[in-house]
A and B are shown apart, each in its own frame.
Chain A
Amino acid sequence: MSGRERILGRVQRALAAVPAGDTPYEQAVSRDYLREHGQRTVAEAVDLLAENLADYRARVHRCSAGELPAVIAGLLAARTSASVLVPPGLDEGWLADTQVTRVADLAESGARELDGVDSVVTACAVAIAETGTLVLDGGPDQGRRRISLVPDHHICVVRVPEQVVSSVPQALGRLDPTRPLTWISGPSATSDIELDRVEGVHGPRTLEVVLVGGPGQEPPGSVAGGG
């Protein structure tokens, strides 16, 4: 007998005496928890995102689309980065103000080569205000999962307010499960020493988040962005 048949047989025997019930799954679970915690305006959601990102030691910057190239250039310069990893579909304009050497994530390059790169700039798919979370889904402006992992300095650009949702349930509704997803809430951290949180282990130890756009600045249509 295969392991498969053995396990499925055991499950069926274990449940033989339990009434199956005919409630469809959609009704079997009472989902009377909240879709989001509290009501907030778009601007308030962006503020909360910034607050929660900072609370977990991400460095948060806010600017208009027009200011973005200068902000990114400034962040790379402040870090004295000599090289920056660039996803294939990143908006060229975002790096217009910096002379730092661009490195592409080539199919044939190994993780070891990425390890020598100082910084990486990516976009994201969605950001969650209540938890201070950025979700990357491997879109062309985000690249493969490893590029936002191996370099020690990650600059992530969030287009606000359109990429910001309030809550985890709202974020899941926007995401495509067939894509490889990485949820990032602050820089790499650990609680393994005396159950106290320390930032900075294997992932990027510095996470900088640039919130671009926002109310009172440029209309969303003019905000540049990759796929």
Chain B
Amino acid sequence: MSGTFVGMPAFPKAAHDAVRDGTLRANLRHATHTIRAKRAKAVAEVSDWAALREAGKQIKDHTLRHLDEYLVRLEQSVTAAGGTVHWAADAEEANRIVAGLIRATGETEVVKVKSMATQEIGLNEALLAEGIHAYETDLAELIVQLGKDRPSHILVPAIHRNRGEIRDIFRAEMGAWGRPAPEGLTDTPAELAEAARLHLREKFLRAKVGVSGANFMVAETGTLVVVESEGNGRMCLTLPETLISVVGIEKVVPTWRDLEVFLQTLPRSSTAERMNPYTSMWTGTTHTDGPRTFHLVLLDNGRTDTLADEVGRQALRCIRCSACLNVCPVYERAGGHAYGSVYPGPIGAILSPQLRGTQSEIDASLPYASSLCGACYEVCPVAIDIPEVLVHLRERVVEGGPVVREGNKVVLRPAKGHAAERAALRAARWAFSRPGALRAGQRLASRTRRLHPRTLPGPGRAWTGTRELPTVPAEPFRDWWQRTQGGKKEAE
């Protein structure tokens, strides 16, 4: 297993293997079904869920509409509180800034809080190229890092691993990274958590530099918020002398008060808890408590391109709760790796093709990685209409058209590989605009029905490989209707 997503095959190809992996299917089914029921219960506890969801949506939409103003405001607030703000237009610029800041401290290792933004930009790999070792400290991230694996879930990146696999990874790999796994480690979750505690504690205690993301940034106060469970976040945010936070520009909210919405919706949507065990909030630097130096790196990396799309920009409301992954029947069966991105599942299927563009094979296939069942939209705590955006992105793939890439307007050509489908749907549209032509086709199908094969060649095999075809009736309904005058003459 490679540690990166470069050169991923299209979604159906990747999913083909995942569907046949019995262990993976069982792991995902167990985990997603466990959390589904709990989330529903946690949400049902609050009677005003719909109002909270609507308020969250409105806060995000308002912020996005005035994003430039709020970013400038945030910069002022953070600076006034003793922090330093940097701006990174893309992954390369962000990695360069972070590497430079770490080099300036003279350190060659950093501890990291789980952060989607730093995964997105490949920070760990970029730092390693500069001789800096980044240690992931979230339990699931640790499992992924030790296993030289790729994350497959937003909240629980090692969701594809069961407890037995985790024990094996800890036993085999911990020694090479630091303190080895305890002798006789079993696969009970409590023992696995204890092994992680022992392994990481020495890293926390000696770390001079911490790297994090943030769940929210408050423009009015300059406050950053990290929501977590294990305490590794608190370790990384408070023990080191220098803290560097890399945060997507869409994570800003206007006011302190806005947190009252998201601190109610995020924990219930993600871990199905009334409140997650630990939330840290810090505003710049504080005399004698925590890091003396704080850097905030604001990351674009495709977000402004997404903002330029009228339908697609709602994806920027996302608060990375992963509720959509947990309810998605496609995610449950294909697994996170098939999405070829640090953002898997329904939100990934609309985020990756917008952040990265639809040029690559995987990104052009992601908008189709959904049956449009709508379960994701229903649970989304900021009401992102994921099916709407999926269909919109399908249109971009098959029709092309104007988009913004790296801040520039470009016109995309229709994607290759859809020519036959395009022709078929155009022909169908032609026939459907002419009832006579439709009827002729139906009659032809009915008259030749005894000649129809039970299995189809070419693309049709995708259906008949696992399902019987319906039998074509002796006459279509419209012929019966006409023959019997709407059933009135049937008895005769």
Asked if B415 lies at the interface with its beta carbon under 8 angstroms from chain A, I say no
Nearest chain A CB to B56 CB, angstrom units: 9
> Which of A52, A144, A193 counts the most B-chain CB atoms under 10 A from its CB?
A193
Decide if B229 touches A32 in the complex (CB within 8 Å). no
Decide if A32 touches B51 in the complex (CB within 8 Å). yes
Interface residues of B in 123-176 (CB under 8 A from A): 137-140, 143, 155-156, 158-159, 162-163, 166
Nearest chain A CB to B469 CB, angstrom units: 39
Nearest chain A CB to B65 CB, angstrom units: 6
Q: A145-B234, A195-B31 are in contact. Are A190 and B87 (CB under 8 A)?
A: no
How far is A18 from B67 in the complex, measured between Cα atoms in Å?
A: 12
Contacts of B260 in A (CB 8 A): 168-169, 172
Contact partner of B274 (CB less than 8 A), chosen from A132, A187, A193, is: A132
Contacts of B30 in A (CB 8 A): 194
Contacts of A12 in B (CB 8 A): 68
Decide if B54 touches A30 in the complex (CB within 8 Å). yes
Contacts of B117 in A (CB 8 A): none
Decide if B230 touches A189 in the complex (CB within 8 Å). yes
How far is A113 from B283 in the complex, measured between Cα atoms in Å?
A: 26
Decide if A201 touches B231 in the complex (CB within 8 Å). yes
Decide if A184 touches B59 in the complex (CB within 8 Å). no
Nearest chain B CB to A128 CB, angstrom units: 8
How far is A196 from B404 in the complex, measured between Cα atoms in Å?
A: 41
Contacts of B437 in A (CB 8 A): none
Decide if A9 touches B281 in the complex (CB within 8 Å). no
Nearest chain A CB to B290 CB, angstrom units: 6
Asked if B298 lies at the interface with its beta carbon under 8 angstroms from chain A, I say yes
Contact partner of A202 (CB less than 8 A), chosen from B66, B87, B200, is: B200
Decide if A111 touches B62 in the complex (CB within 8 Å). no
Asked if A79 lies at the interface with its beta carbon under 8 angstroms from chain B, I say no
How far is A191 from B197 in the complex, measured between Cα atoms in Å?
A: 15
Contact partner of A14 (CB less than 8 A), chosen from B62, B72, B221, B304, is: B304
How far is A11 from B75 in the complex, measured between Cα atoms in Å?
A: 15
Nearest chain A CB to B331 CB, angstrom units: 13
The contact string, 1 if C-beta is below 8 Å from chain A, for chain B 290-319, is 100000001010001101101001000000
Asked if A215 lies at the interface with its beta carbon under 8 angstroms from chain B, I say no
Nearest chain B CB to A220 CB, angstrom units: 26
How far is A202 from B59 in the complex, measured between Cα atoms in Å?
A: 33
Nearest chain A CB to B360 CB, angstrom units: 22
Asked if A78 lies at the interface with its beta carbon under 8 angstroms from chain B, I say no
Decide if B192 touches A202 in the complex (CB within 8 Å). no
Interface residues of A in 167-184 (CB under 8 A from B): 168-169, 172, 177-184
Asked if B369 lies at the interface with its beta carbon under 8 angstroms from chain A, I say no
Decide if B404 touches A30 in the complex (CB within 8 Å). no
Decide if B229 touches A182 in the complex (CB within 8 Å). no
Q: A177-B256, A202-B204 are in contact. Are A146 and B238 (CB under 8 A)?
A: yes
Asked if B288 lies at the interface with its beta carbon under 8 angstroms from chain A, I say yes
* Chain B interface size range: 35 or more
Binding-face segment, A21-29, A61-69, A91-99? A21-29
Contact partner of B156 (CB less than 8 A), chosen from A189, A195, A200, is: A195
The contact string, 1 if C-beta is below 8 Å from chain A, for chain B 204-243, is 1110000000000010010100000111101101110000
Decide if B307 touches A8 in the complex (CB within 8 Å). no
Asked if B86 lies at the interface with its beta carbon under 8 angstroms from chain A, I say yes
Decide if A192 touches B156 in the complex (CB within 8 Å). yes
Contacts of A128 in B (CB 8 A): 275
Contact partner of B46 (CB less than 8 A), chosen from A25, A37, A52, A107, is: A37
Contact partner of B162 (CB less than 8 A), chosen from A8, A191, A194, is: A194
Nearest chain B CB to A115 CB, angstrom units: 6
How far is A172 from B71 in the complex, measured between Cα atoms in Å?
A: 22
Nearest chain B CB to A32 CB, angstrom units: 5
Q: A169-B260, A195-B35 are in contact. Are A187 and B277 (CB under 8 A)?
A: yes
How far is A56 from B93 in the complex, measured between Cα atoms in Å?
A: 42
How far is A29 from B257 in the complex, measured between Cα atoms in Å?
A: 11
How far is A10 from B68 in the complex, measured between Cα atoms in Å?
A: 9
The contact string, 1 if C-beta is below 8 Å from chain B, for chain A 33-76, is 11001000000000000001000100000000000000000000
How far is A3 from B71 in the complex, measured between Cα atoms in Å?
A: 13
Contacts of A112 in B (CB 8 A): 205-206
Contacts of B137 in A (CB 8 A): 202
Decide if A195 touches B62 in the complex (CB within 8 Å). no
Decide if B138 touches A192 in the complex (CB within 8 Å). yes
Nearest chain A CB to B363 CB, angstrom units: 20
Asked if A213 lies at the interface with its beta carbon under 8 angstroms from chain B, I say no
A–B pairs, 6, beta carbons within 8 Å? A3-B88, A149-B231, A181-B280, A182-B280, A192-B140, A200-B197
Q: Beyond A3-B300, A194-B34: 13 further Cβ-contacts under 8 Å? A: A10-B307, A11-B307, A29-B55, A31-B55, A33-B55, A37-B45, A132-B274, A172-B263, A177-B281, A181-B279, A196-B34, A196-B189, A202-B196
